[in-house]
Structure 1
């Protein structure tokens, strides 16, 4: 019988600054060598549960605990944070907040240096950990020079080098492109199988995590455990919908076609999904959903003409890039980490200036406009919320831009409260920003730009760290702004977002425009998907598996039908 390594018994926790407990009566056991996925909406207690396991609670986040929590057979309250760190290694969703070394090698070696490990042994262990995650060729590189996937590998090597018993991953896919995210899940799976360590993954992107098998999925809701089941049983139940979580898109499509999902269909992965006797139902449903595609008359608003740029004199990131953003559209810009997506947004906002080419807004060259002048028309929400926040309180952060523009306080109050409600932050309006999760901070930064009502809004990874409910609320709010004439540009790795909300997608690869088309065409073009590190949508894969005619059309009709269902 497997040894229990984590055991919660009627465990509750209340943060010092709160009246109500965040965790309520948790009873849960995780065995040695298990691979467990924890899902739940924002505020469900997922991160709090993780903080109890790795010792951030109570050592960094104080509060009142009741019940029992045993880690490796010892009461958590009897262990020091150093002792807990020797048991549990944590990889955070924001790798930049975890770096401590000037090089990859120094960062991996940090825990060994603290333990006064002899240098020869330290070097051997660092190289072994780096090889395990395939980053050994970058030991001398600066962490800031790495791609998102390489940063995650560095964090993972830093955890492995300490030979911990438990690997804890807090939203490891949040900042990664789809291909790199897939490789990260494969890497976690391989390391967990090879080492036999216990792995706990906390993640919103359920379909992506299930690219490799997990032993159990734990669903959290309102601080309690709402479900603890194998993947096949969970996906055949109503628990995900009741918790406000998104199921894999291919399962939603099958349900729309009138199928009942059962565990014996092996619904946890498309490769294993049993479609015998069901494929015709999918074709019939698609035929019944025929409708004309929406055709928009293009009216150029923002244009990049032959734009080139490099951070260093002899190295170009963008090469004579030309693209057009039309007035009133929702446009997605996609591509692998390092393709130049964020660079394009910073050029548009004036943070950088192109080495050649022109940027036009409403037909006027804005190359001489200052950042402040461009900000009157163009709003920009960065990928990392910590890079934007400057105020202590949430309300003050969102009101800052309006106050700098001299707007009367009574008007500010109304606009701020309206945006707070839309962004799901109204109940936290008097909170300090520091008390929020990464995903909640992201919503604060989006709200601080939305409140200014710009003509164009650029969002760098708007849905990173967001649960399904807040994702929908945020994107529907953006659609509402878009319907009133505000142009929305989304730089994203989220293929669901592209399919559901973008009217057009521009794909970048190696600083050049690779594709410019409707998102369902982009994500059913295997050559583009492969070159740009995107991910073929599971709807397209399902259509091929079921032998549906016109697989691309199934994707388009599903998106239109699904939007109508969700609006109802």
Structure 2
């Protein structure tokens, strides 16, 4: 019988700045060596729950506590933040906020230096932790030189070197491409199996986490625990949908086909799932869905021709890329971290000057246009919100671009308020930006560009760190902007669900080259392209194969269309 390592008993927590408790009467026990996934919409209390576990509540976040919490037999508010950090290691969703060393080795060694560990032992422990996560050859590199996936692994090594009994991962997939995210989940699973540590994962990308088994899923909503069940029990119910959490796509497809899922069917793993009773229903549903062909007959708004760029003379980051986009299109640009996607967007916006090639807007060469001139036509929302924010208050930040353009104050007031409502930020309009979560900061930067009403909008990872409700709100707004205002939208994304659900076409970049320009469904059912670009095969493809459907690409396309209709009808 395993011993409890985390125990909440009738636990309630209220921040000092709020009237109502964020956590209400929590009863939760996690046992030694368990691997638990915590999910819930933004504002549900799951982040506060994690902060109680790692000791940030009540030391960094002050408030009133009722009830009892013990972590490995210790009470956090009595033990102190230092002692808790020796028990619970936390890997943040934004690794940049966790780095303190000038090199990878220094960063991993930081806690050991504070503990005055002898240098010989320190080097060995740092090397072993780095080797476990696969960054042992990067110890002399600066953390800022690394890719998103490498940064995530360095953060993992930094908490593992301490020897913590509990590892807490706060949205470990938020900034990772699909293949790197898959590797991260594999790595967490490896750490769990080899070290027998207790693992807690907080993540919005539920289907990606379930690539490897978890012992339980805890669903948090409105400050309380609404479900604490096995994965099979959760997926065979409607709990996720009822609380605004996205189900795995293959689960949605089975339910659309009228299949009555039960835990005995083992829906947590599609490859092991017993589908015999469902195959006919899935095939019948597939045949009943008609695909409505649609073609964009608009003229070309953006053309990239033979574009190349390198930060030095030796290596080209973007190499001989050509594509065109029509007015009113909504497309995805996808590929692994470091493929050249963000650099391509910077070239289009004028932040970098290409070494070769042309960029045409409405048939006119933009190569001599200034950044300001391009910004009147093309808006960009960057991946890291901290790189865009320059004001301390939300409303000031969103209004900044309009003020710089001399827009009348009464017009600014209305447009800012309307945009904040659309982005789900109106209630926070007078808040300081530093009080926001990473996902909320992202919405502020989107709002600051949307308020300018550009003709082309480029968004780099628009939904990273967003729960399904806010993801849907932002994407439905972008879709509305695209359909009703004719705004051309380019999404640079690692989210394959987003690519399938909202864009009919995908441009795939690998190693600085364009390797595919096709429908989103075709891209995610092409194993060669998936492997080259570090993408992730959609589970719909696997479901189609297991149900003996002769054309998996068409099955995916029909699911997308059906799903869009269901979602648009409410």
TM-score, structure 2 length as denominator? 0.98
By how many angstroms is 1:65 displaced? Answer: 1.9
- Distance across 1 between alignment mates of 2:419 and 2:66: 37
After alignment, is 507-516 or 321-330 more displaced? 321-330
1:19-58 deviation line (CA, Å, top 9, x unaligned): 2211111111111101000000011111111111112222
The number of equivalent residue pairs is 568
User: Does the 8 Å contact 2:216/2:228 carry over to 1?
Assistant: yes
User: Does the 8 Å contact 2:35/2:215 carry over to 1?
Assistant: yes
After alignment, is 335-344 or 319-328 more displaced? 319-328
- Distance across 1 between alignment mates of 2:79 and 2:346: 46
1:74 alignment partner, SS class: coil
**5+ unaligned residues in a row in structure 2: which ranges?**
none
After alignment, is 445-454 or 305-314 more displaced? 305-314
Q: Give the corresponding residue for 1:295.
A: 295
- Distance across 2 between alignment mates of 1:65 and 1:410: 45
User: Does the 8 Å contact 2:55/2:77 carry over to 1?
Assistant: no
After alignment, is 368-377 or 155-164 more displaced? 368-377
User: Does the 8 Å contact 2:300/2:327 carry over to 1?
Assistant: yes
Is 1:317 aligned to residue 317 of structure 2?
A: yes
Matches within 5 A, 1:51-62: 51-62=51-62
Matches within 5 A, 1:86-97: 86-97=86-97
1:40-83 deviation line (CA, Å, top 9, x unaligned): 00111111111111122222222222221111111111021111
User: Does the 8 Å contact 2:38/2:220 carry over to 1?
Assistant: yes
1:513-558 deviation line (CA, Å, top 9, x unaligned): 0000110011111100011000111111100011112111110011
1:361-396 deviation line (CA, Å, top 9, x unaligned): 111111222211111111111111111112222111
- Distance across 2 between alignment mates of 1:188 and 1:48: 22
User: Does the 8 Å contact 2:291/2:557 carry over to 1?
Assistant: no
By how many angstroms is 1:298 displaced? Answer: 5.2
By how many angstroms is 1:132 displaced? Answer: 0.8
- Distance across 2 between alignment mates of 1:550 and 1:178: 24
Q: Give the corresponding residue for 1:270.
A: 270
- Distance across 2 between alignment mates of 1:66 and 1:390: 39
Q: Give the corresponding residue for 1:116.
A: 116
1:316 alignment partner, SS class: coil
- Distance across 2 between alignment mates of 1:437 and 1:226: 23
Q: Give the corresponding residue for 2:333.
A: 333
Q: Give the corresponding residue for 1:550.
A: 551
1:288-321 deviation line (CA, Å, top 9, x unaligned): 1123322222522112211111122322111121
User: Does the 8 Å contact 2:462/2:493 carry over to 1?
Assistant: yes
Is 1:240 aligned to residue 240 of structure 2?
A: yes
Is 1:372 aligned to residue 376 of structure 2?
A: no
- Distance across 2 between alignment mates of 1:314 and 1:406: 44
Q: Give the corresponding residue for 2:78.
A: 78
User: Does the 8 Å contact 1:279/1:548 carry over to 2?
Assistant: no
**5+ unaligned residues in a row in structure 1: which ranges?**
none
**Segments of 4+ in structure 1 off by > 3 A?**
none
User: Could you say what the CA RMSD is over the residues aligned between the two structures, in angstroms?
Assistant: 1.1
Q: Give the corresponding residue for 2:439.
A: 439
Q: Give the corresponding residue for 2:226.
A: 226
1:243-266 deviation line (CA, Å, top 9, x unaligned): 111111101101111101110110
1:266-289 deviation line (CA, Å, top 9, x unaligned): 001111111012211111111111
- Distance across 2 between alignment mates of 1:68 and 1:394: 37
